[in-house]
Structure formats: structure tokens, C-alpha cells
Chain A
Amino acid sequence: MKPSGNILFCGVGGQGILLASEITAFALLASGLDAKKSEVHGMAQRGGSVVAHLRYGKKVYSPLIDPGQADFSVAFETMEAVRYLPFLHKGSKVIVNTHQIPPPIVATGKMVYPADLLAELTSRGITVYPLDGFSIAKGVGEVRTANLVLVGALSTFLPVTEEVFLDVLKKRIPKKLEENIAAFKEGRKITA
């Protein structure tokens, strides 16, 4: 497993992207790595497209992932996985929540939600791991754990042991810890 890498978290404002990236950052730090994370606040939220950059390694300088340099993308919404394509490269791994949230222009019937979006990624040599985060979250008894399913799916690719991740979850998740751990483990199964 590479000791350095770049992870892009993307989705729609309010989906729990910041918590997911925060948990991942803590797990990397607890594994003795350096990390930096860049977020967006303010106007970029309010239901708009949201992205966070997380970089890790022995020593991290820039907090931003360069175009073409994201090793992993964790997409909380299908269309958002494709929006940030310029950050990906052939061989990137993309974990996609198959949930679809229509943006206003689609909701008002002016445009349609594109079909076959994931083919835009696979046809370029990107490996895609689609998962239905909400169904899995419902299955573990807490619908708001979809973000942990995604983190779980990502976790198998990172230089972090499952124990370290579980330790971070115990320290950082204030409520419904059992359900969150179950969601995380379900996510791991998808990519293990």
C-alpha cells in the first residue's frame, strides 16, 4: 500500500462530507502519517456541490490535490463523482454512493439527470465501486450512517489498519456508535 496519496471527497452540501473526511484524516494521523485537508465553507454550501481535498504522506506541503492527481474519490452522489473527473487519472479508484439528488435545473424539468454516468469513469480506465449507501445504512438500523459506509469502502485502500479506524470511530462518533461501526464494516466488505 502506498504510504502517500490524495483523496477527494465530493457530494452535495449537507451530506456529511466533512465528518467523513475528518474521520479519515484522524485515522491517517493516528497511523503516524502527516495530513492536510482543504474544505469549502460559505456560499459553496446551501445545497451546492461540495468538495474536500485530503492529502497524506510522510510530509505534506500543498493542501490541494492537483488536477489528475486524486488516487481516490469518495462521491456521496452519483453526478458529483463525474463533476470532479479532471482531478482523476487512469487507475484512480472511485467509491460512489448510487444515490441521486437532482440539482435545481433537473428538478425543474429544464435538463434531465444524465443516464450511464459511471461509464464516463470506467471508460477512462477508472475503477468504480458503486454502493447504495442508504440501503446499507438502513440495513444497520441508522439511515444517517451512509457516510460511514463510504469511509469503510475507502478504508481498505489506505495504509491504516481496521483497528486504528475503529479506535478513531470510538473516539469521534458521539451518538449511535454501534450502528456507525456496523456501517463502516459493511463498507469494508464492498472493497475488501
Chain B
Amino acid sequence: MTKVSAKNKQWLSGNEAIARGAWEAGVTVASGYPGTPSTEILENLCTYDDVYTEWAPNEKVALEVGLGASFAGARVLVTMKHVGLNVAADPLFTAAYTGVRGGIVIITADDPEMHSSQNEQDNRNYAFAAKLPMLEPSDPAEALEMLKEAFAISEEFDTPVLLRTTTRVAHVKGMVPTGKRKKGPVAVAIEKMPAKFVMLPGNARVRRRAIAERMARLSTYVESFSGNRVEKGDKKLGFITGGISYLYVKEAFPKASVLKIATTWPLPFNLIRDFAGQVDELIIVEELDPFLEIHIKAKGIACTGKEKIPAMGELNPFIIKKALGLESGEVFAPVDIPPRPPNLCPGCPHRGFFYSLAQLDVFISGDIGCYTLGFLPPLSAMDSCVCMGASIGVAHGMDKALGEQGKGKTVAVIGDSTFMHSGITGLINMVYNKSVSTVIILDNRITAMTGHQPNPASGNTLMGEPANTINLEELCRAIGVKHVRTVNPHDIKESKKVLQEEIERPETSVIIAQAPCILLPEERRRPKTPLAVALDKCTGCTSCLRLGCPAISWVPLTAAEAKKLGKKEKQKGYSRISLEMCNGCGQCLAVCKFKAIGKAEDNK
């Protein structure tokens, strides 16, 4: 790595460093789908000049866009979270066959510990399975540098390259040396290369051999790759590690010998064998699967790995020391205090709809987004959640299995961005195969959970340009759904009526619950009319509390206090609305049978 002066250093997160690295590497096209912990890469890259960036409707499309741009000669970045690579796996495996023209790097941002994910799959396995090289940085500075090297590898070896981060690389900030932008080496032009780009069996068989040759060349290349390095220390204990785990090992065992692996695939087996021969005990430290361990053991090299190091969740120096018997592990035990899970925001349009849904005797097949929080009490309005778009297939499958007894008993709940991502095909299947389920699209105009990225139903692009807004109602009708109704989810009475009618209907139906996310800038600017509880009218029935709105809280009363307030002694308390937090959405007003809730200015 080149030495740079302090003024060429910036305080960047791993994701910001990757965006910077892509710009320096001469990337001109980038596509991805938002997903924690990958989202900020494209959000930052779109602020640089001379790079076209976009949010694709899903990761498969993003990777296909990336391939096309590479075929045209551009350097391309494609970004996604770990589960996104499952969606993109179809083009991924064949992209290994086609190879590239311009360099293409695919970022897979994994989430050990599942801070914001439905599983903690280890995407290093994809590199092995798809026969693609994978690099893994340990911190933001390495992320920038390695990304540039990844582009060089991509072009030199005619292959897409995977670069894997994890939450503690993507969302960690550190000092990062930065450089200048350089143009990619390939001319952008149409160059037809059918033997390479048309993967018919005859061509693919030839390319299959090209992959084997490429991997053999890469296996030699990684032996001298500068990112794979031995840090000599105490010879009794040697560690092989990479990614974030390398930093944990350095922190926990500053004097030990370490072989730091940057090329997760293919592995530098000669370097590994040499290192193993120099230390008395060899320990592999890696988060999640025994990926390095399995491949090292397969070469007949003795080492210790997952029999000591946990294979679940994140590691840290403490866990590693404890696993190796070098830490007593005695720290203060947690104190039993009320939990504080995330919650739907005050004024969130989803809340009203879940409130109505929870009162119906139905199986609620849910999906991925803010609205997955509808699962939490007091709403408790979600019965399944698997992956992006699954709500619709799951509802249909339940409907088919249940037959008569399932009529009017299954609904799917999906957000607008998730519906664009992979819900449409599920709905086509429902119509085609005559489902009687109801699909509810919670349309808040934005991809909210990951921090407000526009999608094809939002009306603008990542680069801030106005764009076509998909009309969801027309789209559903075009697919063949005969019963499509749009409701305002803040109108609880009307929503409930429409819900009941459509759920009972013995045909596929769609309800579009349409109201913008209250965190959208234009919604934040909208003047608010906060509500308040008239203390004299509140009977303490707790109906409003069942909305689970953060602005509404319970004030307990003793019998004496209740009496003093002129209430029945058995009234245990009353509701209070926080003036600062209330958005004036009016959902609580609708559920109060005692007309105790009104405008704050009237209910002083």
C-alpha cells in the first residue's frame, strides 16, 4: 500500500470507502438493491461525478445490468446484502462462465449476528460454489484498496470478482487513505464475443474449461498477492484468519504469528502450508462457517477451528480469548430491565392497517420491511416472514393446502418496494392458479426500512431525477386481478370494512393501503396537528394503547388518585399522548369509543 500524507486521509465507513474506491477505480456504472449493511455504498457513490448509479428492482436485475455494462467495456460495481446474492445467484453462476470485458465487482455485505436480517448465511460459500474469486477486507482502508485490486483481477483473469464485507467492516469508520480517479483500461464499445457471451451448452462446455484454467492461474496468483501476508510473532501459536476476524485476533493475541488471508477464494495453499510448518499450534479464526478450516483440512493440514471457535453469531476478541481458555469471561451480568425493540414510528400508516388485521381470524403471511415490526406486540399481526416476496407464495400455498377450510382465512402483507422486488411474479401465480387469498400492498411510496431509497413506485431515481411512477392498481389489473381496491390506512373504519369484504371474496383480490411514510421529507415538512387525550373523558379502556404508538403511553392511577380526578376508583389509569411525538395521524382518534381524543389545542 502506498504511503499518503495526512491530508489525503478521510474518516470513512467501510461503505463510504467502497464508494470512494469504486470512483477511484474508474467505475462508470453501478447497480444494486438496498439492504443492510450494503445500502450506503450506492447512496455515496451517487454523489460522485461521472458515475451512473441506480437502484434496480432486485439484486438479480442489478447483477444482469452489471453484466451488460461489463460486456460493453465499463468498470461496474454491483451491491447487495448477503441474502440478495441468493436472488442474484442465477446470473452469478453463469457470469463465471461468460467472464467480463470491463471489470465487475460484486459486493456481498453479510450480516453475522443478524442485526438486520432474517438469516446469517456465510456467502464465502458462494465463491467456492460459483467458482469465482473472493476478496475480504478487514477495515475501511483495506476495503478501498482491495476494491481497486479486485477490478484489476477481474480484467486480468476475465472473471467477476466477489468482495465480501460484514456489518463490522461496512458500518465501521476509520481513517482511509484516498487517491485520484483513474480510467478503466477497456474501451467502451459494442464488441460481439458470442463464444464467450452466448451460454449455449456447446459454448458453455468450452467456457467450463476456461474456468478451470482461470482458477489454476488464480491459485498461483494468490500465493504472492500482497494482501495475503505473514506477520511473524511467537511460534508457539499461529493464527490463520481474514476479514474482521483478523482485527479481533490482533487485538486478542498481539504477539502471536498471524497469516492474514485477503483472498478467501482461491486460497494460497502453499503459503498456508509453509505457515503451518512454522508454528506449533495452528488455529483458524473465522466468523460463521468453517470455510477456511474445511478447505485447509482438505489439503491435509492439521489445524484447530470450530471445535473451539463459535460457528454462530459475531466474534470479538473476548469471545476468541474465552474460546481458547485465556479469559475468565467474568463480566457484569446484564440487569433485568424492560426490552426496547424497534417500533413503527408515531403516525406510521402501517400501524392502522395491522390494528384492523389483528382483529380478524386470519393467517397473516408477512414480508420484509419496516412493516415486519407489525409482528411485535401489541399489534402481533404477523404469522410468517421468510424472505423478500415470500408473503404472496406462502399465502397461496396455505390456501391450496387448506382448501375449503382456508377460505377467507389467508392474507399476504407486502410493502411497495418488496412487491416490486419479487412480489409481482407471486401475484401472477395467484391469479393464474386461482387463489382465493387477498394480497395487501402497504404502499408508502419508498423503501423505508433501509433509509428511504426510491423504487419504481416512488417517482424518482437514485440520482434524483423524476421517473415513471408505477400505478400499482393498474399493474394488478393488467396481471388479471379483478378486484383491486385502494384505501387510506389511516382511515381505520374504512380499511376494516374493505378488508372484511375482500377477504371473504372467493377470488384473488388486492388491497392497496396507500399513504406516504411519515419520515419522507415532504411529510416531515407538512404542518402537524397533534392530538391529546381529554382526561375527563378517558375511561382507561386501553383501546388506543393497542395501536402500540410510541406517542401514546399509560399513566397508572391508584384508587385515591382516580377518585381525586373525579373518576371511578376502579379505573387503573389513563392514556396520555406526547405532544412532541404525535404526528396527528388520527388512528387513535378512530379507535377511541369515548371520544376522549381530539386536537391538542381543544383538549388542553
Query: Which residues on A are within 8 Å of B, measured CB to CB?
Result: 12-13, 25-26, 29, 34-49, 60-64, 66-69, 79-80, 82-83, 85-89, 102-109, 111-114, 117, 120, 124
A102 (CB) vs chain B CBs: closest residue: B553
A183 to B40, CA, bound (A): 31
* Cβ contacts under 8 Å, B250 to chain A: 61-62
Q: In this assembly, does B116 line the interface, its C-beta being within 8 Å of a C-beta of chain A? A: yes
The one of A29, A41, A62, A120 in contact with B175, judged by C-beta atoms closer than 8 angstroms, is A29
B585 to chain A, nearest CB (A): 16
Task: Please tell me if the beta carbons of B553 and A107 are within 8 angstroms of each other in the complex.
Answer: yes
* Cβ contacts under 8 Å, A60 to chain B: 174
Task: Please tell me if the beta carbons of B139 and A63 are within 8 angstroms of each other in the complex.
Answer: yes
* Cβ contacts under 8 Å, A102 to chain B: 553
The one of B174, B345, B378 in contact with A46, judged by C-beta atoms closer than 8 angstroms, is B345
A43 to B451, CA, bound (A): 10
Are A86 and B332 CB-contacts (below 8 A) given A38-B168, A64-B168? yes
* Cβ contacts under 8 Å, A62 to chain B: 247-248, 250-251, 316-317
Task: Please tell me if the beta carbons of B340 and A109 are within 8 angstroms of each other in the complex.
Answer: no
The one of A26, A47, A82 in contact with B345, judged by C-beta atoms closer than 8 angstroms, is A47
Task: Please tell me if the beta carbons of B338 and A86 are within 8 angstroms of each other in the complex.
Answer: no
* Cβ contacts under 8 Å, A37 to chain B: 172-174
Task: Please tell me if the beta carbons of A63 and B332 are within 8 angstroms of each other in the complex.
Answer: no
* Cβ contacts under 8 Å, A89 to chain B: 331-332
Q: In this assembly, does B552 line the interface, its C-beta being within 8 Å of a C-beta of chain A? A: yes
The one of B36, B333, B338, B344 in contact with A41, judged by C-beta atoms closer than 8 angstroms, is B36
Task: Please tell me if the beta carbons of B342 and A47 are within 8 angstroms of each other in the complex.
Answer: yes
Task: Please tell me if the beta carbons of B247 and A63 are within 8 angstroms of each other in the complex.
Answer: yes
A148 to B370, CA, bound (A): 30
Task: Please tell me if the beta carbons of A36 and B139 are within 8 angstroms of each other in the complex.
Answer: yes
A128 to chain B, nearest CB (A): 14
* Cβ contacts under 8 Å, A35 to chain B: 174-175
B532-561 near A? 1/0 per residue, CB < 8 Å: 000000000010011010101110100000
A55 to chain B, nearest CB (A): 9
Task: Please tell me if the beta carbons of A41 and B542 are within 8 angstroms of each other in the complex.
Answer: no
Q: In this assembly, does B318 line the interface, its C-beta being within 8 Å of a C-beta of chain A? A: yes
* Cβ contacts under 8 Å, B318 to chain A: 66-69
A32 to chain B, nearest CB (A): 10
B138 to chain A, nearest CB (A): 9
B315 (CB) vs chain A CBs: closest residue: A64
Task: Please tell me if the beta carbons of B338 and A85 are within 8 angstroms of each other in the complex.
Answer: no
- Can you list 7 A-B contacts with CB-CB less than 8 angstroms, sorted by A residue number? A34-B175, A35-B174, A40-B171, A61-B248, A69-B318, A82-B337, A109-B556
Given A48-B342, A63-B172, A106-B553, 4 more contacts at CB 8 Å? A29-B11, A48-B343, A85-B334, A104-B550
B27 to chain A, nearest CB (A): 23
A106 to chain B, nearest CB (A): 5
Are A120 and B545 CB-contacts (below 8 A) given A25-B173, A29-B175? no
Q: In this assembly, does B384 line the interface, its C-beta being within 8 Å of a C-beta of chain A? A: no
A39 to B332, CA, bound (A): 23
Q: In this assembly, does B290 line the interface, its C-beta being within 8 Å of a C-beta of chain A? A: no
* Cβ contacts under 8 Å, A108 to chain B: 378, 542, 545-546, 548, 553-554
A108 to chain B, nearest CB (A): 5
* Cβ contacts under 8 Å, B201 to chain A: none
The one of A29, A48, A61 in contact with B340, judged by C-beta atoms closer than 8 angstroms, is A48
* Cβ contacts under 8 Å, B338 to chain A: 79, 103, 105-106, 111, 113-114
* Cβ contacts under 8 Å, A36 to chain B: 139, 172-174
* Cβ contacts under 8 Å, A83 to chain B: 334-335, 337, 340
Q: In this assembly, does B464 line the interface, its C-beta being within 8 Å of a C-beta of chain A? A: no
Task: Please tell me if the beta carbons of B251 and A61 are within 8 angstroms of each other in the complex.
Answer: yes
Q: In this assembly, does B37 line the interface, its C-beta being within 8 Å of a C-beta of chain A? A: yes
B333 (CB) vs chain A CBs: closest residue: A86
A160 to B378, CA, bound (A): 47
Per CB-CB distance, the 6 closest pairs between chain A and chain B, nearest first, are A42-B36, A42-B116, A109-B554, A48-B342, A46-B342, A43-B116
* Cβ contacts under 8 Å, B340 to chain A: 12, 47-49, 79-80, 83, 103-104
Q: Which of A47, A107, A111, A112 has the most CB of B within 10 A?
A: A107
B89-122 near A? 1/0 per residue, CB < 8 Å: 0000000000000000000000000011000000
A40 (CB) vs chain B CBs: closest residue: B115
Task: Please tell me if the beta carbons of A41 and B332 are within 8 angstroms of each other in the complex.
Answer: no
The one of A42, A43, A82, A113 in contact with B335, judged by C-beta atoms closer than 8 angstroms, is A82
B235-266 near A? 1/0 per residue, CB < 8 Å: 00000000010011011000000000000000
Q: In this assembly, does B450 line the interface, its C-beta being within 8 Å of a C-beta of chain A? A: yes
Task: Please tell me if the beta carbons of B341 and A48 are within 8 angstroms of each other in the complex.
Answer: yes
* Cβ contacts under 8 Å, A48 to chain B: 340-343
* Cβ contacts under 8 Å, A49 to chain B: 340
Are A85 and B449 CB-contacts (below 8 A) given A43-B36, A113-B338? no
Task: Please tell me if the beta carbons of B334 and A86 are within 8 angstroms of each other in the complex.
Answer: yes
A34 to B173, CA, bound (A): 11
B244 to chain A, nearest CB (A): 8
A62 to B343, CA, bound (A): 31
Task: Please tell me if the beta carbons of B343 and A39 are within 8 angstroms of each other in the complex.
Answer: no
* Cβ contacts under 8 Å, B554 to chain A: 107-109
* Cβ contacts under 8 Å, A40 to chain B: 115, 167, 171
B436-459 near A? 1/0 per residue, CB < 8 Å: 000000000000011100000000
Task: Please tell me if the beta carbons of B168 and A47 are within 8 angstroms of each other in the complex.
Answer: no
The one of A47, A63, A88, A114 in contact with B550, judged by C-beta atoms closer than 8 angstroms, is A47
B34-71 near A? 1/0 per residue, CB < 8 Å: 00110110000000000000000000000000000000
